Amino acid sequence: MNAPEERAALTPASTPTASPTSVPSAPALSLYAYALRLHRAEPGGRLPEGGYALPAPPGRRSRRTRAPWKAACAALTEALAPLMAVPGTAWTGADTDRAAHRIHLRLADLSVREGHVQFVVAELPLEDEGWARALGRCLTRTGTGVMAVCVGLALLTRLGEPEDVPYLRTLGQLKDLAGHAVRALDAIDRPTAALVWLGHYASGPELRALVDALAAVDDLSVGDDPSARSRLDAVLRKAGAVRPETARRVAEAVRLADLLREHDARDAGLVAGAGRLLRRMSSVNDDRAEILACPVAVGLFEAFVVRAAELPPTLDHHATLLSVALELHSGPSRLLEWETGRREALLDGLESVLSRSACRALPDGEPAEDSGSGSGADSDSGSDSGFGSGSDGQGRVEWARSTALRLFGRDAERAASAGRLRIEATVLDPVDPYVVETRILIDGLPLVPAAFGRGPAHSPEYLLDSGRLRATGEPREVQLAEAYCTEGCCGALHVTIRRDGDHVVWSDWRRPAPPLSLLPARELPEYRFEAAAYDAEIARAENDHSWTWPARRAARLIAAGVRDRPDLLTRWDAEPYWIGTDFRNRDIVAVSLRCRARPAAGEK
């Protein structure tokens, strides 16, 4: 920003000419100026974890609304819509100042929250984008009220340009405005948006050190900055343990795809770390699949596969390559916008790397130690080196062998030419705490990430062992997936399965609206399958136990025995609640029962 703009922002805003009924107020410091002043006091320009608290508002505090959502949105629309109209053909900065002041006054009389503002402004018709953009800039740079600044941020989410980035980055350091600023930055400058998000939400010494290093680099370029690069290496070594959105934001902030294309061809640590981040971004065990919110995901997959052959043949690298291949094969990544044949070509490339003699020997022999096997950046295997409580990684070796056969063996070739429905019981890398999910593919695309986006499909035991997916003469509603916070909170995905002559029909879907920023919401169609092919696929999936391991098989047998002989538990006033393998050690069988107290003597 130039010197005059900076002085204007730091000068307390004078109250523009108001209506006769308005009460003049004392000059107030804009929220932007307040955030800029705090940021300048930070050593080295660091970004504060959790953000700065907002200044205490003069007079009364902002009210929390208890009005119904529709009523609050209607009132807000009525207040804002007239001010989106251009005041004249030759409007000036004074016009935007007056309109911004009126917005402050009108919002002061409403009980609305930030969510109302974001929703309403996103739908407001804009007569003149230039006027709306200027109004948004005025509100974000000189606004003194939280709701008014939120209106400006929402306008710049739609209309922002590169010149707005410094202001949005500064406002993003305020606790209550971070999410809105990041949303606006996402549409303009993804690396800066990611840095602001990480500055607010990232925790842990490695991530905070990386945020500090990135904040000190003017162009966010990591490759040529030794401090930033060493701190990125520390994060990448533990990338398998970060949350999916954190993984995505790290990849965006450091421009990981560009780093892979441009950096030292012998940097195995960078390549391995990129694979771990891709694995975490593709996970649906933490709600949504962040890979679908990453605009450079296709390029990142391509850059990783091009350099995959540089990875030394260690068990951790082998598992990382298999995990990326598994996501390209049947995970949410299939929903990305791929050029024809490109995804298949990447899978072929990974198969070629995994088919090297040194890699093939890993699942057949002793697992290789990761330490010392790569470059200095990857010498520490971090949290990805073992599995559960087993120190020898044998469970991971068995998983690698089984997964490679399912991905690249003859069964995989037959599956590629199968009918339009495919059910796959998928076991993820055992270093992940939740390792099994059912993937439902229709016409080659994964259904649950596309239609639900709030968690994975239910386990094979729930959908297959119970026979829930079988088509019978009577229509039956089946819950395919449930949000991790339970259906009562964020919903579930239901479908009605019925037999209709020579066809099986999936229809009458029930689900919540998909999360924002992922795939566009659409009506789910009625799917019709040829009955013979459908029955054959369900039977194949129910009888395919090749994905299981000893403890999982034992758990399934226990569950089947209890299901077939309910009297074993009813005599004790108990019923099965959950039977499976332990989330963090898959070699332990866990059985949970629900007991009901018997009525006391004389009670009914």
Task: Say which DSSP state 28 is in.
Answer: B
Does residue 479 surpass a pLDDT of 60?
A: yes
pLDDT at res. 357: 67
> Considering the chain, what percentage of its residues have pLDDT values greater than 90?
59
Q: Average of pLDDT values for 327-334?
A: 95
pTM over 0.75? The answer is: yes
Task: Give the model's confidence band at 39: pLDDT under 50 very low, under 70 low, under 90 confident, else very high.
Answer: very high
pLDDT at res. 227: 83
pLDDT at res. 344: 95
42: which residues sit within 8 A by CB, 6+ positions away? 48
Task: Give the model's confidence band at 258: pLDDT under 50 very low, under 70 low, under 90 confident, else very high.
Answer: very high
Q: Please identify which residue in the block is written with the tokens 């003149």.
A: 128
**Separation of alpha carbons 271 and 269, rounded Å:** 5
Q: Please identify which residue in the block is written with the tokens 């968690």.
A: 455
pLDDT at res. 285: 72
pLDDT at res. 583: 80
| Full DSSP string of 233-249 | HHHHHTGGGS-HHHHHH
Q: Average of pLDDT values for 168-182?
A: 96
Does residue 391 surpass a pLDDT of 50?
A: no
555: which residues sit within 8 A by CB, 6+ positions away? 461, 579, 580, 581, 589, 590, 591
| Full DSSP string of 133-180 | HHHHHHHHHH--SHHHHHHHHHHHHHH--GGGHHHHHHHTTBGGGHHH
Q: Indicate the range of 61-65, 81-85, 151-155, 223-227 predicted with least confidence.
A: 61-65
Q: Average of pLDDT values for 453-473?
A: 92
Q: Are 463 and 469 in contact (CB under 8 A)?
A: yes
Mean pLDDT of the chain: 85
Angle, in degrees to the nearest 10, between helices 342-354 and 315-330: 160
Task: Give the model's confidence band at 380: pLDDT under 50 very low, under 70 low, under 90 confident, else very high.
Answer: very low
Q: Are 124 and 98 in contact (CB under 8 A)?
A: no
In single-letter form, the type of residue at position 187 comes to A
pLDDT at res. 12: 46
Largest CA distance in the chain: 88
Residue spans of the domains in the chain: they are: 3-19+26-52+65-185, 204-416, 421-543, 551-595
pLDDT at res. 365: 53
